Amino acid sequence: MNILLTSVGRRGYIVDYFKQASEDAKIHVCNSVFTVAFRKADFSFIAPKIYENDYIDCLVDYCKIHKIDAIMSLFDIDLVVLGSSEKRFEEIGVNLIHAPLKTLKICNDKWLTYKFSQEINIATPKTYISMEDALKEIESKRVYYPLIIKPRFGMGSIGLYTVNNREELHVLYNKCKNEVFNSYLKYESTDFKEESVLIQEFKKSKEYGLDIINDLNGKYVTVIPKEKVEMRSGETDLGLTVDNARFIDLAKKISQATKHKGIMSVDILADETGTLNLLEMNCRISGHYPVAHCAGVNYPKQLIEWLDKEDTNLENFKYKRDVYVTKELLPVVWE
Amino acid sequence: MNILLTSVGRRGYIVDYFKQASEDAKIHVCNSVFTVAFRKADFSFIAPKIYENDYIDCLVDYCKIHKIDAIMSLFDIDLVVLGSSEKRFEEIGVNLIHAPLKTLKICNDKWLTYKFSQEINIATPKTYISMEDALKEIESKRVYYPLIIKPRFGMGSIGLYTVNNREELHVLYNKCKNEVFNSYLKYESTDFKEESVLIQEFKKSKEYGLDIINDLNGKYVTVIPKEKVEMRSGETDLGLTVDNARFIDLAKKISQATKHKGIMSVDILADETGTLNLLEMNCRISGHYPVAHCAGVNYPKQLIEWLDKEDTNLENFKYKRDVYVTKELLPVVWE
């Protein structure tokens, strides 16, 4: 079996996990730049940038030549680019491990994510796409400072601000918009010039990362929740596996509405009352998956078994509770 | 020989480098929280937080009991705390591997760093400690937007903003000040309420990290420069060793003025004209040292030899040019 991981970035450990999961599966990776993952994979190549016209052509050719069975992307925008050409991959027998295009678009658009939460009746921080609406709500004391300013199509920390008063709200709203259109976020925001920035309620709370697992037919399997523990120094990334009982209802609702394949990574804020608020969804393995893996979960193994037409084996999702996992930095020469 | 590394954070690789450098040297580490470095070291212990009264007492006791020969800290504020008690360590024969207290204070205070650059006649971005001065200079067109707002005693990204116009300047200046006094930066800023925020010229430029090496008597040895290469995805940390010829004069000037022991890490901006501008100095091993180490430098080995009263061996500072080094993330369970 041949599996292609696209936009691998520096998550070389994902390649390790796949190689440890199966001796038969060959792991291919691609990116538009060299990455650590390149030398860990069985095969690797430089792909065109995902915005370039020949990106999909290049992948389709590669899949044909190397008999690729499945593609899994590790980057949100890439998911939508791939999903928009799903038929071309289906035609040559390649399984895209992600979600229906509608779901991918909801994941990438934080305004649609907010609407989605409301539609399926899941709590979510109050969110406004117009300054007018936000100001009205502030005046009538339905929402309070601090508020969060964030790009509607955002990633990383670009344009992300906390605002504490009206002056900061106005200035940073405009600054965020400028930053969106001066960064690679402009590609997705271009059709939404006046609706490219969100104003969102700030919830002081514990944050959890969930891996919501569906099988390759989009049917709910399980959920693995991890508390995102923050270290004093700001440098150490630390996660903790917790029991999944209180997350199952929420996970099932999301699973049934998204019909994704494999992992859906979901960020949850548990506010002071204990209510679980949906904050963000990504239809891919995210930075908190290793916490689950180190505690016993083996998603790569299950994915390979599914691709081999085997049934779900719940043993692959057994994990120890209360396991702390951190990420060490390992300098390596580029050769 | 016994070496104690304090405030190790997640830089476990530093412990590896020391252990690989000598079979005889025993490496001890401490922190106020558990870190990856703990299990790599020969001995490790939880120390009080560096602001607490019993921090130095605890270290002094530990050094006596475990016959520590030298202490090397990996955190800026810790350096000043240790340096303020240097005599207590001298009395028990412990060598603090850093710099005279005056130098440590210049390194931690970005306003003093600016003044220091001017005194020793090294280029540096224009910097203002009062809004009035900055506005005067903007009006008379001696400095232009964008400008950088940053805490005078800053670390990481707390309070760091780029501003593009007068409105942003005012709002983010105040926001930065609020953030300083709502974070752990308040400890050092408390005596400088009205002078806790800097306004600095923005230089679009290549950035370099230098390791300026002095011996344990504060005498200049060499300089190892690395270009800080930034990757497209924003995720990959990539450094590149470059030839040191153009950096030697600057490095000697800094070395002679600071009289530090061992490594002084210096951030340099080379502007469009090629001028080298001093941006920041830290009297410790920083995040770019591994680039030098992976290219052949062995500072831990030299440090151990110096502590053994051996002479400087320039072989320990030989390095290959044009070596790219990146940092891989390695998830590990906390046990």
pLDDT one-digit tens code per residue, B214-243: 999 999 999 999 999 864 333 337 899 999
Given a cut of 80, whether residue A125 has pLDDT beyond it is yes
Best of B328, B330, B335 to disrupt the A interface (most A CBs within 10 Å) is B328
Residues of A in contact with B323 (CB under 8 A): 333-334
pLDDT of residue A34: 76
CB contacts under 8 A, A 3-32 vs B, are 7, 9-13, 32
In a domain, A71, yes or no: yes
Are residues B170 and B210 located together in one domain of the fold? no
Are residues A189 and A236 located together in one domain of the fold? no
Given a cut of 70, whether residue A266 has pLDDT beyond it is yes
pLDDT in tens, A39-55: 899 999 999 999 898 99
Lowest mean pLDDT among A121-135, B19-33, B253-267: B19-33
pLDDT of residue B37: 84
Interchain contact, A36 vs B326, CB within 8 Å: yes
Closest CA to B146 of B93, B193, B79, B204: B204
Best of A40, A175, A182, A184 to disrupt the B interface (most B CBs within 10 Å) is A175
Given a cut of 70, whether residue B41 has pLDDT beyond it is yes
pLDDT of residue A57: 97
Closest CA to A244 of A287, A219, A212, A216: A212
B187-204 residues labelled b (16+ CB within 10 A) or e (exposed): ebbeeeeeebbbbbbbbe
Give how far A328 is from chain B: nearest CA, Å. 5
pLDDT of residue B249: 98
Are residues A159 and A194 located together in one domain of the fold? yes
Rounded Cα gap, residues A180 and A192, in angstroms: 11
Are residues A142 and A228 located together in one domain of the fold? no
Are residues A220 and A197 located together in one domain of the fold? no
Interchain contact, B164 vs A172, CB within 8 Å: no
Given a cut of 90, whether residue B198 has pLDDT beyond it is yes
Per the prediction, chain A carries an average pLDDT of 93
Are residues B177 and B223 located together in one domain of the fold? no
Given a cut of 70, whether residue A165 has pLDDT beyond it is yes
CATH number of the domain encompassing residue B270:
3.30.470.20
CATH number of the domain encompassing residue B56:
3.40.50.20
- Among the candidates B47, B80, B96, a domain finishes at B96
Rounded Cα gap, residues A262 and A285, in angstroms: 9
Closest chain A residue to the Cα of B32, Cα to Cα: A232
- Among the candidates A156, A175, A201, a domain finishes at A201
- Among the candidates B76, B96, B116, a domain finishes at B96
| Partner residues linked to B30 by β-bridges | B6, B45
Give the mean model confidence (pLDDT) for residues B238-265: 97
Which H or E run contains B200?
Answer: strand B197-201
In a domain, A249, yes or no: yes
Closest CA to B116 of B311, B316, B281: B281
Are residues B44 and B136 located together in one domain of the fold? no
Q: How confident is the model at residue B44 (pLDDT cuts 50, 70, 90)?
A: very high
User: How many domains is chain B partitioned into structurally?
Assistant: 3
Of B9, B13, B291, the CB nearest to A330: B13
Q: What angle is formed at CA A109 by the lines to CA A103 and CA A110, rounded to 5 degrees?
A: 110
Interchain contact, A236 vs B12, CB within 8 Å: no
pLDDT of residue B24: 93
Given a cut of 90, whether residue B38 has pLDDT beyond it is no
Angle between helix A76-83 and helix A54-66 axes, rounded to 10 deg: 80
Are residues A92 and A144 located together in one domain of the fold? no
- ipTM here: 0.84
Residues in chain B: 335
pLDDT of residue A232: 38
Please answer whether residues A129 and A153 qualify as being in contact, where contact means their C-beta atoms are separated by less than 8 angstroms. no
Interchain contact, B232 vs A33, CB within 8 Å: yes
Are residues A63 and A165 located together in one domain of the fold? no
In a domain, A114, yes or no: no
Per the prediction, chain B carries an average pLDDT of 93
Lowest mean pLDDT among A3-17, A248-262, B230-244: B230-244
Please answer whether residues B32 and B64 qualify as being in contact, where contact means their C-beta atoms are separated by less than 8 angstroms. no
Given a cut of 90, whether residue A73 has pLDDT beyond it is yes
Interchain contact, A328 vs B333, CB within 8 Å: no
In a domain, B112, yes or no: no
pLDDT of residue B230: 65
pLDDT of residue B177: 95
Given a cut of 80, whether residue A3 has pLDDT beyond it is yes
Tokens of B151: 């805490």
Are residues A195 and A223 located together in one domain of the fold? no
Q: How confident is the model at residue A187 (pLDDT cuts 50, 70, 90)?
A: confident
Closest CA to B105 of B84, B129, B87, B75: B84
Residues of B in contact with A12 (CB under 8 A): 328-329
- Judged by a CB distance cut-off of 8 A, whether residue A331 touches chain B is yes
CATH number of the domain encompassing residue A194:
3.30.1490.20
B263-297 residues labelled b (16+ CB within 10 A) or e (exposed): bbbbbbbbeeeeebbbbbbbbbbbbbbbbbbbbeb
Rounded Cα gap, residues B215 and B313, in angstroms: 11
In a domain, B106, yes or no: no
pLDDT in tens, A198-244: 999 998 888 999 999 999 999 999 999 999 986 433 333 789 999 99
Please answer whether residues A304 and A1 qualify as being in contact, where contact means their C-beta atoms are separated by less than 8 angstroms. yes
Are residues A55 and A148 located together in one domain of the fold? no
Which H or E run contains B163?
Answer: strand B161-163
Residues ≥6 apart with Cβ < 8 Å to A206: A227, A228, A269, A270
**Paired sense of beta strands A220-230 and A276-282, if any:** unpaired
Interchain contact, A334 vs B324, CB within 8 Å: yes
Interchain contact, A233 vs B172, CB within 8 Å: no
In a domain, A335, yes or no: no
In a domain, B195, yes or no: yes
Are residues A193 and A285 located together in one domain of the fold? no
Residues of A in contact with B167 (CB under 8 A): 171
Closest chain B residue to the Cα of A37, Cα to Cα: B328
Given a cut of 90, whether residue A32 has pLDDT beyond it is no
In a domain, A191, yes or no: yes
Closest CA to A107 of A247, A279, A288: A279
Which domain range does residue B197 map to? 126-201
